Amino acid sequence: MELIDLSDLNVNEKVKEVLRSRGIVTLNPVQSEAVRKGLLEGKRLLLTSPTGSGKTLIAELGMISHLLKGGRRAIYTTPLRALTSEKYHEFKAWESLGIKVGMTSGEYDTDDAWLRNYQLIVTTYEKLDSLWRHGPSWLFETDYFVLDEFHYINDGERGPVVESVAVKAKRRNLLVLSATISNHSEIAKWLEAEAVTTNWRPVPLREGVLVPDRGGFVVSFADGSSYKLRGNDAILAFTRKVVDEGGQVLLFRNSRRMAETTARKVAELDLEVKRKEIEDLIAKLEEVDDAGSNEKEALRELLERGVAFHHAGLSRGLREVIEDGFRKRIIKVITATPTLAAGVNLPARAVIIGDIYRFNRKILGFQEEISIMEYKQMSGRAGRPGYDSEGEAVIVVRNRRDAERVFKRYILSPPEPIQSRLGNEPAFYSFLLGLISEGESTVEQIRELARQTLLSRELVDRYLDSGIPWLEENGFIELDEKLFLTKLGRRVADLYINPFTAQVVKDVLRKNEAVECNLAYLHLLAWSPDGPFVGVSKGEEDELIENVSCPPFLDEPEDEDDFYKYVSALKIASILNDWIEEIEEDVILGRYGIGSGDLRSLVETMDWLTYSAYNVAQVLGLEEHADVLRRLNARVEDGVKEDLLEIVRVPGVGRKRGRVLFQNGLTKPEDLVMNPEKVKALLGDKIGDKVVKEAARVIGGVL
């Protein structure tokens, strides 16, 4: 395939300057093919290629050429906040051309009117779907959409949102990027785009299995090559070889516990590290302020040996330190859960897939095999451009019979075809409410819009014919020749909660008197369809039920699956109740066996749900419930008792500093402004000075 030289690229010279500053002088095969297919002319494309093949630059060229030719606005969409932040920082380079780059994620109950001043916006699928429900004029003026990591449409949780966004985005100029899609022709036709498909990678990938053999192990690759390893542990033997050759390893395990246990085993290899770099990295670890002390201690011991574990239980600050250390090649090995493969760009010389099974309590035996797409996501991380001549991805298997089956299923087979995930009532009814929220439409107009999904016409009609009556009967919409949202429906659509969650809240609050029991409300919301989920051990179940501080609104269910969700919600309610009672974070993490990342995620979700429930109660006229939920929501965000709510309004004053200030008579922002020396004496000069200035801004003063 002929490559396109940067000098021959039909773009503005300033665009070429930005690319040259990154060391780009020639487009790679994937990028060259996209340009030949009409990328710079705004042609609608579905581009599928392996991880690390330069798809982000294709998106940048598409967006920037569109904007420089008079386009109004471009939006780049990702499935994860971490990716959104990463891309935002990459795209800031284009501000040298006068293009303002903005980012938005989270905070669903807003139309983000400030974004009208930005030409290139990076966001998540959930946030974009939420924004469409609010209908800001700047969004409807947007005329170019990039949908990244589009294979997430196959994800059971995020898939419905990705599809919902695609249905709306494909009315405009569109560029869709994805890892390999086996049914790309079908998806391209649905998107009314041309498929550009390639298997080219910047670093060739060898895929194989790691199988026991006499006196050690054999690594057998799909190209027929193999080599022998000696040792008692397959993972350790392979890791040692790669690191000794100057490479780095990403090691995937199927659970957090296995990732942490494996990291400790790898650390025993006593890998060679650069002591000064390790010490600097550990110093950064110590500065992280959103993590538990036990987590820091566990990671500190591993980092000293060039190893770290990585999973969603870690706080964002800890994950960023680990990722930075790996990118700078200070950390030699990361043991991780598969969530890392779907997150930030973090290539390694070699990838080890330690498990092809994962836990699923709904399946007899509790294990199911990972999908081929998940394997492709993990293996695709192998090979660091600029460092490695090739990457290696190996799957650990038990014997040669397993090796043959694994080869056939994962290495020699294409990933699963993309299918709609809107085929259930909660997902479709929420999608339907979103369509109706865009403006008054007839049933047939909504039907035509719904038929733009990947669902069959038969399924669309079936869900529509049951969904519209359900939404009408439960007070979300009204039908009078045209469909339109009721006051409740509008609020639910704007809050971006599932209508089934709103219905649960409505039914339970109407049946129960308001109570001064935060746990009852927290349990209800954690149990709702939008509620989060945490694992509960057998030993925890009885303890959680016996130690409730007040009766929940919900009765204990008899169905096993419902019961598991019930006790999960009870655990979440207990965690959040401790949080708002200002129990020390380390105590909470130890008491419930969770990580700092879990706690932050639970707080964020329950902040959204308590805010949503407060608004639903208000719309329904349930003022007493609304008052309890309003105060509860204010406390959840910062994890404080009610007496600290005033002082924590000041940025930089969290639950710990707030309590110190309160105990010393500084109870509101005005007190901080009037007593700056006292604040500095309590918090230190640097932090104290900053807090005083923030307090002045809160009360409208100027220092």
For the entire predicted model, the pTM comes to 0.93
Q: Which residues contact 116 (CB under 8 A, 6 or more apart)?
A: 136, 137, 138
DSSP string, 96-151: GGT--EEEE-S--S---GGGGG-SEEEEEHHHHHHHHHH--HHHHH--EEEE-SGG
SS3 category, 347: coil
* Residue 677 exposed, middle or buried by CB count within 10 Å (0-12, 13-18, 19+): exposed
- The total of other beta-carbon atoms located within 10 Å of residue 224's CB is 7
Same domain, 243 and 218: yes
For residue 617, what are the contacts with CB-CB under 8 A and spacing of at least 6? 505, 509, 623, 625, 626, 629
List the beta strands (DSSP E) in 493-628.
Answer: none
- Same domain? For 171 and 90 the reply is yes
Query: Is residue 85 located within the same domain as residue 56?
Result: yes
Q: Which two tokens stand for residue 262?
A: 């494996």
Domain assignment of residue 604, yes or no: yes
In a domain, 680, yes or no: yes
pLDDT at 43: 96
Mean pLDDT of 20-40: 95
CA distances in angstroms from 697 to 265, 375, 670, 692, 702, listed in the order given: 51, 50, 10, 9, 7
- 673 belongs to a structural domain: yes
Examine the domain organization and report whether 332 and 443 are in the same domain.
no
Q: How far is CA 462 from CA 441, 443, 451, 503, in A?
A: 19, 13, 11, 21
Q: What CATH code is carried by the domain that includes residue 676?
A: 1.10.150.20
Last residue of a domain, one of 385, 411, 437: 411
Same domain for 69 and 128? Answer: yes
Q: Is the pLDDT of residue 167 over 90?
A: yes
What integer is the mean pLDDT of 335-352?
Answer: 87
**Domain annotation covers residue 417:** no
The pLDDT tens digits of the residues spanning 553-586 come to: 999 998 888 999 999 999 999 999 999 999 999 9
- pLDDT confidence of residue 364: 46
Q: Across residues 220-225, what is the average pLDDT?
A: 93
Q: What is the rounded average pLDDT of the residues 219-227?
A: 93
Q: What is the mean pLDDT of residues 185-210?
A: 95
Starting at the edge strand that comes first in sequence, how are the strands of the sheet with 249-252 ordered?
Answer: 226-230, 216-221, 205-213, 391-396, 350-353, 249-252, 333-336, 307-310
Q: Are 496 and 609 in contact (CB under 8 A)?
A: no
Query: Closest by alpha carbon to 378, among 641, 52, 628?
Result: 52
List the one residue out of 234, 214, 228, 299 whose CA is nearest residue 264.
299
Average pLDDT over residues 364-382: 84
Q: Say whether pLDDT at 362 is over 60.
A: no
- Does residue 613 register a pLDDT over 80? yes
User: Contact at 8 Å (CB) between 609 and 539?
Assistant: no
Per-residue pLDDT band for 439 (boundaries 50, 70, 90) equals: confident
The C-alpha atoms of residue 587 and residue 575 are separated, in whole angstroms, by: 10
**Beta strand 367-369 pairing with 357-359:** antiparallel
Annotated binding-site positions for ATP: 31
pLDDT at 365 over 60: no
Residues 127, 73, 24, CA angle at the centre, nearest 5°?
Answer: 100
Q: At 196, which helix (H) or strand (E)? A: strand 194-197
Count CB atoms within 10 A of the CB of residue 368: 13
CA dihedral 392, 397, 401, 402 (to 10 degrees): -100
From CA 520, how far away is CA 497, in angstroms rounded?
20
Question: How far apart, in whole angstroms, are the C-alpha atoms of residue 567 and residue 313?
Answer: 20
Domain extent, residue 487, equals: 425-495
Using alpha carbons, select from 231, 187, 194 the residue that is nearest to residue 213.
231
- The answer to whether residue 431 sits within a structural domain is yes
**Average pLDDT of the segment spanning 143-165:** 95
Q: Of 461, 495, 529, which residue constitutes the final position of a domain?
A: 495
Residue 703 placed within a domain: no
Q: Mean pLDDT across the stretch 21-26?
A: 93
pLDDT reported for residue 701? 52
Are 610 and 521 in contact by the 8 Å Cβ rule? The answer is yes
Q: In this predicted structure, what is the pLDDT of residue 367?
A: 73
Distance, in Å, from the CA atom of 429 to the CA atom of 508, rounded to the nearest integer, reads: 20
pLDDT bin (cut points 50, 70, 90) of residue 360 is low
- Distance separating alpha carbons of residues 678 and 541, to the nearest angstrom: 47
On whether both 689 and 558 belong to a single domain, the answer is no
pLDDT digits (tens, 9 = 90+) for 661-701: 999 999 999 999 999 999 999 999 999 999 999 999 998 85
Check pLDDT > 70 for residue 703: no
Q: What is the pLDDT of residue 14?
A: 92
Q: Same structural domain for residues 125 and 187?
A: yes
Q: What is the residue whose two structure tokens read 């049951």?
A: 466
* 262 and 380 inside one domain: yes
Which of these three, 599, 619, 639, is where a domain ends? 639
Considering the domain architecture, whether residues 157 and 30 belong to the same structural domain is answered as yes
- The DSSP 8-state label assigned to residue 348 in this structure reads B
State whether 510 and 659 are in the same domain: no
**Which CATH number fits the domain that encloses residue 269?**
3.40.50.300
Is 418 a member of any domain? no
Kindly report the CATH number assigned to the domain that includes residue 544: 1.10.3380.30
Task: Check whether 191 has a pLDDT greater than 90.
Answer: yes
DSSP percent split of the chain into helix, strand, coil, nearest 5: 55, 15, 35
Distances in whole angstroms, Cα of residue 161 to Cα of each of 129, 398, 419: 7, 38, 13
- Region of 383 on the Ramachandran plot (φ > 0 left; ψ -120 to 50 alpha; else beta): left
Residue 689 lies in a domain: yes
In angstroms, rounded to a whole number, what is the distance separating the alpha carbons of residues 334 and 306? 9
Where is the binding site, in residues? Answer: 31
On the question of pLDDT at 464 being above 60, the answer is: yes
| Amino acid occupying residue 8 | D
365: left (phi over 0), alpha (psi -120 to 50) or beta: left
Number of domains in the chain: 5
Does residue 602 surpass a pLDDT of 70?
yes
Pair 312, 236 in one domain: yes
Task: Note the pLDDT tens digit of each residue in 85-125.
Answer: 999 999 999 999 999 999 998 888 899 999 999 999 999 99
pLDDT of 322 above 50: yes
Please report the sign of the dihedral spanned by the C-alpha atoms of residue 57, residue 58, residue 63, residue 69. Answer: positive
Residue where the block lists tokens 């005083």: 692
- CB distance 492 to 499 below 8 Å: yes
- What's the confidence (pLDDT) of residue 693? 93
Taking the C-alpha atoms of residue 234 and residue 457, their distance in angstroms, rounded to an integer, is 50
Annotate 484-513 with b (16+ C-beta within 10 A) or e (fewer).
bbbebbbbbbbbbbbbbbbbbbbebbeeee
Is 344 found in the same domain as 222?
Answer: yes
pLDDT, residue 702, reads 45
Instruction: Give strand pairing partners of 482.
Output: 480
Q: Residue 1: its pLDDT value, please?
A: 64
| Residue 153 DSSP label | G
Residue 439, domain CATH = 1.10.10.10
Residues 474-488: tens digit of each pLDDT: 999 999 889 999 999
Which residues contact residue 81 at a Cβ distance below 8 angstroms, ignoring those fewer than 6 apart? 105, 106, 124
Task: Please give the pLDDT value at position 361.
Answer: 58
Average pLDDT for the chain: 93
Which residues 6+ apart lie within 8 Å of 598 measured at CB?
312, 313, 534
Sequence-ordered list of residues with C-beta below 8 angstroms from that of 633, at least 6 positions apart, any chain: 607, 610, 611, 614
Mean pLDDT of 194-209: 94
